[in-house]
Amino acid sequence: MLRTLPVWAAAVLLTLTLGQPFPFQEHVHLQSRVLDQSRSPRTFQSVPPILRKVFQSREAAADAGVSSDLCYVKDLGVRGNVLRLLGDQGSLLYSKKRPQASLCLQKHLYFNLSAITETEQLTMVRLSLDLGPNTYYKLGPELGLALSLVQEPPVGSRALPAPGKMFALQSVPWPHGALHFNLLPTAKNWNNNSQKTLRLFLEIRVHGHRDPTDFQPEDTCARLRRLLHASLLVVTLNPEQCHFASRQRRSAMPVPTASCKNLCHRHQLFINFRDLGWHKWVIAPRGFMANYCHGQCPFSLTTSLNSSNHAFMQALMSATDPEVPQALCAPTKLSPISMLYHDNDDNVILRHYEDMVVDECGCG
């Protein structure tokens, strides 16, 4: 029979029993204390296709019983168990001086990296610049893009951040769609920054048009300012969580016979995120079959109870000495899940969590 727990009990189960990493455990703690309050999220980013694809491929592999390493992102070809899409928090610059004829826009790109812990190893840092829908039937002007690292002003200075060393210079026809830049080679320099921020300077110039008689640079620049969207895809690997990260087949739950219902075995428990109020920030899945262990561990233990030698000896002593407690029914095998959600800064995160689903129970 499928069972559900009260909201507070489910939160406690997630926090204390399943032993998830601290960032998710912090979410559980906060949510369990304010479950009766409605969370008011800010504007959320749309889920990028790559994160949705990775999540869906992992779910399909698990449902099909295909073993997969959740600490390797096959679609990106890199190791990692946390994928973050960080939104740009920078702003466009408007100079008081008369702009040059070819200058279209200047923008500071700002990304907050404070959520990345010291134990996480960077394996991918990819900047995406979306210049608007890609259309082939109507080519626009040629654009020149220049990306530079930003020099931080001295502490206490009121000066604005100034462009530093240029690391990317590219010409593209517009509309072009999305451009991607690999920032991993320079990532170590700013990852050790105490401020945990990445600041870039973007400059776009208009180089000309195939048909000068039908070219209005003001219209092109206005559209670029309106359509430009920047994001940073960061993939990290936490070695402490990836000793053995393969997902096994989700086996069907055997139904115990009437004479064995009181013995230690696995019970069904589906945790619905809507019941917890987490549907406001969890994108997928909508819930998961967490299960739990419950039942007696009598002296006459059998192999069907997955009993350890220690549990057998403890049950034997308990039968002769009442002060010795009986062996406890507890999980002996757990499997992970992946979760796609918005964090407190409205970034889109795909994270792998170990020991979330109880697969087998035993006496120990």
How many Cα atoms occupy the beta-carbon half-sphere of 138 within 13 Å?
3
What is the DSSP code string of 145-191? EEEEEEEPPPTT--PPPEEEEEEEEEEEESS--EEEEE-GGGHHHHH
Beta-bridged to residue 99, according to DSSP, are none
pLDDT for position 114: 85
Q: How far apart are CA 236 and CA 123, in angstroms?
A: 5
Amino acid at the residue 146: A
Cβ contacts of 87 within 8 Å, gap of 6 or more: 45, 111, 231, 345, 346, 347
Three-state DSSP state, 209:
coil
Q: How far apart are CA 186 and CA 171, in angstroms?
A: 22
pTM of the model: 0.73
CATH code of the domain occupying 7-29+42-70+249-363: 2.10.90.10
Task: Confirm if 264 and 361 have CB atoms less than 8 A apart.
Answer: yes
Query: pLDDT per position in the chain (364 positions), as tens?
Result: 444 444 434 443 444 344 333 344 434 433 433 333 344 445 566 788 889 998 988 888 877 777 778 889 988 999 999 999 998 998 888 655 545 557 888 999 999 888 888 889 999 999 999 887 766 555 677 888 999 888 666 555 555 566 667 777 888 877 677 889 999 887 766 655 556 788 899 999 887 655 554 556 667 788 888 888 999 999 999 888 776 544 554 555 555 554 567 888 899 999 999 998 888 889 999 999 999 999 988 776 655 677 777 777 887 787 788 788 888 899 988 988 889 998 887 889 999 888 899 999 988 7
pLDDT for position 292: 94
Tokens of 321: 């000495």
pLDDT for position 181: 92
- Write down the domain spans for the chain: 7-29+42-70+249-363, 82-152+162-237
Q: How far apart are CA 164 and CA 166, in angstroms?
A: 6
pLDDT for position 209: 57
pLDDT for position 237: 92
CATH code of the domain occupying 82-152+162-237: 2.60.120
pLDDT for position 263: 87
Cβ contacts of 173 within 8 Å, gap of 6 or more: 139, 140, 141, 142, 143
Amino acid at the residue 311: A
CA angle 52, 289, 82 (to 5 degrees): 35
pLDDT for position 349: 93
